[in-house]
A and B are shown apart, each in its own frame.
Chain A
């Protein structure tokens, strides 16, 4: 059960695996952390929006005669178009979820929206099960895959894609939140919803935008996970969502930089547990981090200590 392996020779190689996985978690974690930051809701359905992103991308790709296209530039453009479309559609789904399921409960006791979110998650999972069945769905791998070698370390375009796309998204998000007016409105609403309203901020639309952006990032993650793994499954979002949520908690929930950091840490921890101990224990390691963080440092790595709201 417990066997320690000598993983030192492949440390860098495993680090690459971990960073790629962490990039995915970070993208999903951003959605959790933004929504929690603004309405203090653990949006349980967020992980399923991520899977929905891969299903949507898959369906869009199904409409394109990929086999007849060989020009790599065209293929790359198709990829970019599909990412944007998947992000848009997932964003809309996120806004709809907020509008239909969460908005009514904004002032209800804290547990009511959380329970609703669990319900929404189950509904999304089952819609996807009806849509694509309950076995692995293949994801077309239409981008040419080249291998790169630096010293003894090898990686392919797909790992690169995950890391590049997730880092680009994070930079864009940071610019958006800290440099635009809407971003400012979001930060204001997160700090004090009532005061923000008094200052003339449209709280409802700000919250809707938060859901849109968070869900759009999950949609992007859905597409790149499909490219990275070549398969997708209707229940993937449950585990991935929990791990991404762990990442958000570890980084300090509500903190955007923290979510990114947390995502990479969780990805690396999971990979290293698999690489040095055993695959079986990687999930236990992640959930142990979740529990330990919440018990001993609920504010996370980068979050500030908040007094308990009464």
Chain B
């Protein structure tokens, strides 16, 4: 194995020189992307991948690291987005700073993570999954029904865009792209370190064997609550940027489908492994924002040539959940560890008799 670059800060010293150079190159290419591709709808699509990735990071802490299946994760996304929209829109006539709310919304979502987590975390795996699913159903319903404050099913329109040193982001996708880019880089550094920290190891101990972890003297309740609140915080941040970029939010954007999309992303990429989550999130986002709309156009062209009415008017984005369903089933059946698994998850999901591969 290559020698590690011991002098690098932020825990990057864990990686070899080749890895750091390779990673660095990709960061540079991505940083220059808006200069390489001038089509702003592409930049917008790649920027939107940002919230998918942030949500996937958050859900990965809960499902991937700690092994708690949460099915209503979009609720935290909704809480983050609404927290920002309440104080930065005509809804209550408030126009607070985006940057402060980025932190505040993360904290609010984290707090709701604890509020939901506290009474439910002692439940077994699939029961917990269903409680979080119920929570995920109730939260958008509350936003929908408490219409005096939340705008009801219409949601909140005219949400403020961020301003940085006098520059208003407006509806130009490029600044949002860079904002997501910076936030994701920070999150990645944070998560790489978290993964190997005492807390990270605690989470994985819980995932492997909760009972054993408890007997080893680990306070599993605190660790699980921390996983829930930190995961929720990522969703909160994603919600704020999402609301600002789209300028409007409504309960329908935070339904079960959103939770499933994120779950499909981390399942596809490889639960518990950051690079897997990046890959899965990237694939799902690109499918969603670029490839399916494209494929619809190809289908229309093909339909016009072949004179097939169905193909001429088909909107493939309507069927994207078919694709996510197929992804979930096929991955679980044939590669339950995902495309880029972490060594431990991989070993765990294959026959217990086999020795785990060395990493």
A residues at B contact (CB < 8 Å): 1, 40, 42, 101, 104-105, 108-116, 118-123, 125-127, 129-130, 134, 238, 242, 245-246, 249, 280-281, 283-284, 287-288, 290-291, 294-295, 298, 308, 310
A238 touches B267 (CB 8 A): no
Q: B303-328: which have CB < 8 Å to A?
A: 318-319, 321-322, 324-328
Q: Determine the distance from Cα of A294 to Cα of B129 in the docked complex, in whole angstroms.
A: 11
Q: Which A residues are CB-close (under 8 A) to B328?
A: 115-116, 118-119, 122
Contacts of A291 in B (CB 8 A): 120, 131, 134-135, 138
29 residue pairs of the A-B complex, CB under 8 angstroms, read A108-B332, A108-B336, A108-B349, A114-B69, A114-B126, A114-B129, A115-B263, A115-B332, A119-B324, A119-B326, A119-B332, A120-B329, A121-B325, A122-B322, A122-B325, A127-B322, A129-B318, A130-B319, A134-B318, A245-B130, A249-B130, A280-B145, A287-B134, A287-B138, A294-B120, A294-B130, A295-B119, A295-B123, A310-B211
Extra pairs beyond A110-B126, A112-B332, A129-B319 (6, CB < 8 Å):
A42-B126, A105-B333, A113-B332, A122-B328, A123-B326, A290-B131
Task: Identify the closest chain B residue to A296 (Cβ).
Answer: B119
A116 touches B348 (CB 8 A): no
CB within 8 A of A109: which of B130, B263, B267, B348? B348
CB proximity of A17 to chain B, nearest CB, Å: 21
Contact partners of B256 in chain A: CB under 8 A: 238
B260 on interface, CB distance cutoff 8 Å? yes
Determine which of A113, A118, A288, A298 lies in contact with B138 in the assembled complex, contact meaning CB atoms within 8 Å.
A288
Distance in Å from the Cβ of A139 to the closest Cβ of chain B? 23
B92 at the interface (CB under 8 A from A): no
Q: How many cross-chain pairs have Cβ atoms below 8 Å apart between A and B? A: 121
Q: Is the CB of B119 within 8 A of A120?
A: no
* Residue of A whose beta carbon sits closest to that of B127: A294
Residues of chain B contacted by A123 (CB below 8 angstroms): 322, 325-326, 329
- Tell whether B344 is near chain A: CB-to-CB under 8 Å: no
* Distance between Cα atoms of A1 and B123 in the complex (Å): 33
Give the distance to chain B from A111, nearest Cβ to Cβ, in Å. 5
Asked if residues B129 and A42 are in contact (CB atoms below 8 Å), the reply is yes
A242 and B148 alpha carbons, distance in the complex (Å): 28
- Please name the 5 residue pairs, one residue from A and one from B, whose CB atoms are nearest each other, closest first: A122-B325, A119-B328, A126-B322, A119-B329, A123-B325
Chain B interface (Cβ within 8 Å of chain A)?
Answer: 63, 67, 69, 71, 119-120, 123-127, 129-131, 133-135, 137-138, 141-142, 144-148, 211, 256, 260, 263, 267, 318-319, 321-322, 324-329, 332-333, 336, 348-349
Chain B at the A interface: mostly helix, strand, loop or mixed?
helix
Q: Which residues of B contact A120 (CB under 8 A)?
A: 325, 329
Determine how close the nearest CB of chain B comes to the CB of A307; give it in whole angstroms: 11
Q: Are B142 and A284 in contact (CB under 8 A)?
A: yes
Q: How far is the CB of A210 from chain B (nearest CB, A)?
A: 18
CB within 8 A of B333: which of A116, A130, A134, A283?
Answer: A116
Bound Cα distance A287, B146 (Å): 16
Give the complex CA separation of A245 and B67 in angstroms. 23
Chain A neighbourhood of B127, CB < 8 A: 294, 298
Residues of A within 8 A of B329 (CB): 101, 116, 119-120, 123
Nearest chain B CB to A103 CB, angstrom units: 10
Q: Is the CB of A126 within 8 A of B325?
A: yes
Of B119, B126, B134, chain A has the most CB atoms within 10 Å of the CB of B134
| Distance to closest chain A CB from B219 (angstroms) | 18
What residues on A are CB-neighbors of B146 within 8 Å?
1
**B145-A1 in contact (CB<8A):** yes
Report the bound CA distance from A183 to B255 in whole Å. Answer: 39
In the complex, what residues of A have CB within 8 A of residue B327's CB?
119
- Smallest Cβ-Cβ distance to A130: which chain B residue: B319
Bound: A241/B201 CA distance, A: 38
Q: Which of A105, A118, A120, A308 has the most CB of B within 10 A?
A: A118
How near does chain A come to B95, taking the closest CB pair, in angstroms? Answer: 26
Measured CB to CB, the nearest residue on chain A to B71 is A118
Question: Nearest chain B CB to A100's CB is how many angstroms away?
Answer: 9
A-side contacts of B260, CB under 8 Å? 118, 122
Chain B nearest CB, measured from A128 CB (Å): 11
The answer to whether B138 and A284 touch across the interface, beta carbons within 8 angstroms, is: yes
Name the residue of chain B whose CB is nearest to the CB of A97.
B329
B325 A294 Cβ-Cβ under 8 A: no
Residue of B nearest to A249 (CB): B130
Chain B residues within 8 Å of A127, by CB: 322
